[in-house]
Amino acid sequence: MTVALVIAAFLALWWILGQMSLRSFWIQTLNGLSFGAVLFFLASGFTLIFGLMRITNLAHGGFYLVGAYIGIMLMALTGNFFVALVVSALAIMLLGLFTERVLLRPIRGLEKPEVLLTIGLTFVLGDLSLAIWGGDPMPVPVPGFLEGPWRIGDFAYPRYRLFVLICAVVVGVVLFYIERRTRIGAMVRAGVDDRETVAALGINIKAVFTGVFMFGAFLAGFAGVIGGGFLSVLPGQDFEILLFALVVVILGGLGSLPGAVLGAVLVGLIDSFAKALVPELAFFTLFAPMALILVLRPRGLLGRES
């Protein structure tokens, strides 16, 4: 199975290189990776929450949206992008706390009501955002030193998108480190594998749950502000970005952090190259692989059989 996929990937690469110049190829790759970076931020939180708590938090898109709007508001107030970024993410973290403790606690363990409640929450968040911030599309203003292109020779690429890419790498590394090397990470991994035993060991599993949910929400808010730098924020974006995030985790495997990376990279690249080479099919190139993966490997590429 893996061998087949790798061969397919090589064939695709060979064909793509035949269709465009090397320069175009690198630009499209960067385009895809920078978009994938935003998806990674969103999908990683989503997959962590699912992996540990088996909650499919469809309100993640709503978290992204509200995070972005708060980011814009803070930028207008403080003019400092990094302050806006961190504070917005913290605000969404608190929203996550509220969601987990007040809304989801009473129905813990009931998978379907959980999913459906989060859909209801998305409706509310989206409409309240419209009421508060209006419907005008707004980008998150980026700091001056990240505006415009970075030039090397005759190659120019937007600075901000490179920044997003670097952020993703940094965050990814941090997440991996936390998961593999810290005590908290070990608790989370243990909780994913066997909830009851962890609780029996005296670890406050409920606190871990809440913590993970809050962290996932933090990542979503973070994604909103960062993504808002090159994707205008507007009503309806919550569902759109959620859709992409879902494709990412389905491809990569729910509950798996490496899966989120793989999925994000794949989705970003597919989206980018499809738009360039087969714009007619740009929509299907996204969903078709997902459908295929689901039929062949229902748990995603790196998902766990559980």
Partner 1 sequence: MRQRHPTLGSLIVLALVAAACSAPGAEEPTTTAGGVTTTGESEVTTTAGGETTTTAAGEMEPLRIGVLQPLTGAIAASGTDAKDGWDLFWANNPTEIAGRSIEYRVEDTAGDPETALQKVDELVQSYGAEIIVGELLANVTLALADRLKDNPDVIFMSPIGSADDLTQRIRDDYPNFTRAGGWTSSQTSHVLGDWASQQGYGTAGTICTDYAFGHEMCGGFVQVFTESGGTVDPANQLWNPLGAQDFATYVTQLQGMGTDVVFGLQVGGSVGDFLNTWSDFGLKDEIPLLGGEVLMDISTIRNLDPSVVEGLVSSGHWAEGRDAPETQELVEIVDGATGKLPSYYVAATWTAAQYISAALEETGGDSSDKAALLDVMRGLELETPFGPSRLDDHGNPIYDIYIREVQLRDDGRFWNVPVETYEDIDQFWPKTADEYLQQPVYSRDFQGNAGG
Partner 2 sequence: MELVRRLSPTARLKLFLLASAIGVGIALPYLVSPFLVGLATLALIGGLFSMSIDLLGGYGGLITLGQAGVSAAAGYGVGYMANRVGAGHTTQILTGLAVGLLVSAIFGVMAMRSDSVYFIMITLAQGMIVWGLSIRLNRITGAENGLTGISRPAGLTLYWQYYWFALGVVVLCSLLLYVLVRSPFGSATRGIRESESRMRMLGYNTSLQKFYLFMVAGFFATIAGILLVYLNQFISPSSAHLTASAIGVLQAILGGMGTLVGPLIGSFVIVFIRNVVSQYLERWPTLLGLTFIVVILFARRGIVGALSRGWRAWLLRRYGEEMTRADRQAELAADVALGAKTSGPS
Residue among 139 and 289 whose Cβ is closer to partner 1:
139
Place of tokens 């998902």: 303
**From the list partner 1, partner 2, none, partner contacted by residue 35 (C-beta under 5 to 8 A by kind):** partner 1
Site for partner 2 in 238-257 (CB under 8 A): 239, 243, 246-247, 249-250, 254
Work out whether 184 is an interface residue with partner 2 (CB under 8 A): no
**From the list partner 1, partner 2, none, partner contacted by residue 287 (C-beta under 5 to 8 A by kind):** partner 2
Residue among 275 and 304 whose Cβ is closer to partner 1:
275
Binding mask 133-172 for partner 2 (x = CB under 8 A): ----------------------------------------
**From the list partner 1, partner 2, none, partner contacted by residue 233 (C-beta under 5 to 8 A by kind):** partner 1
Candidate residues 107, 146, 178, 186; the one interacting with partner 2 per rule CB under 8 A? 107
Smallest gap, in angstroms, from Cβ of residue 91 to partner 1? 21
**From the list partner 2, partner 1, none, partner contacted by residue 237 (C-beta under 5 to 8 A by kind):** partner 1
Enumerate binding residues for partner 1 (CB under 8 A): 21, 24, 27-28, 30-31, 34-35, 127, 130, 134-139, 141, 147-149, 151, 156-161, 230-237, 240, 271-272, 275-276, 279, 282-283
**From the list partner 1, partner 2, none, partner contacted by residue 151 (C-beta under 5 to 8 A by kind):** partner 1
Work out whether 120 is an interface residue with partner 2 (CB under 8 A): yes
Please state whether 130 falls in left (phi above 0), alpha (psi between -120 and 50) or beta. Answer: alpha
Candidate residues 49, 91, 117, 167; the one interacting with partner 2 per rule CB under 8 A? 117
SS3 assignment for the chain: CHHHHHHHHHHHHHHHHHHCCHHHHHHHHHHHHHHHHHHHHHHHHHHHHHHHHCCCCCCHHHHHHHHHHHHHHHHHHHCCHHHHHHHHHHHHHHHHHHHHHHHHHHHCCCHHHHHHHHHHHHHHHHHHHHHHHCCCCECCCCCHHHCCEEEECCEEEEHHHHHHHHHHHHHHHHHHHHHHHCHHHHHHHHHHHCHHHHHHCCCCHHHHHHHHHHHHHHHHHHHHHHHHCCCCECCCHHHHHHHHHHHHHHHHCCCCHHHHHHHHHHHHHHHHHHHHHCHHHCCHHHHHHHHHHHHHCCCCCCCCCC
Smallest gap, in angstroms, from Cβ of residue 243 to partner 1? 11
Task: Please report, as ranges, the residues that interact with partner 2 according to CB under 8 A.
Answer: 50, 54, 56, 103, 106-107, 109-113, 115-117, 119-128, 131, 196, 239, 243, 246-247, 249-250, 254, 280, 283-284, 287, 290-291, 294-295, 298-299
